[in-house]
Amino acid sequence: QQQVKQSPQSLIVQKGGISIINCAYENTAFDYFPWYQQFPGKGPALLIAIRPDVSEKKEGRFTISFNKSAKQFSLHIMDSQPGDSATYFCAATAGSARQLTFGSGTQLTVLP
């Protein structure tokens, strides 16, 4: 059972545009929501993360919006650049082991 649902599966955006990736979760025990960026042949790299007591977090061009009541969160990439072309994974964690549950991933392509 997939506990974190991510959409869209793929996304094409023009340079300078806004990329939006959405995730929804079911497990109310999740208490930490990171986003990872992965380039081909590399491991995921932490991009930005949020805790459920905050509705928005911004770091540079990356913003997470969090809606606790709807159990949804999203990543916004402002002024998208070709170098942002990668696969993005949302994730959630809970429990003492802090295991990550990943979404299915979004392949972002930013056209020059």
> Which residues are registered as beta bridge partners of 48?
35
Residue 23 structure tokens: 């995730």
Of 86-105, binders to another protein (CB under 8 A) are 89, 93, 96-100, 102-105
**Does residue 54 interact with another protein by CB under 8 A?**
no
Closest to another protein by CB, 29 vs 112, is: 29
Closest to another protein by CB, 17 vs 52, is: 52
Reading across the β-sheet that carries 19-25, which strands appear in turn?
4-7, 19-25, 72-77, 62-67, 56-59
Residues that bind another protein (CB under 8 A): 31-32, 34, 36, 41-46, 49, 51, 89, 93, 96-100, 102-105, 107
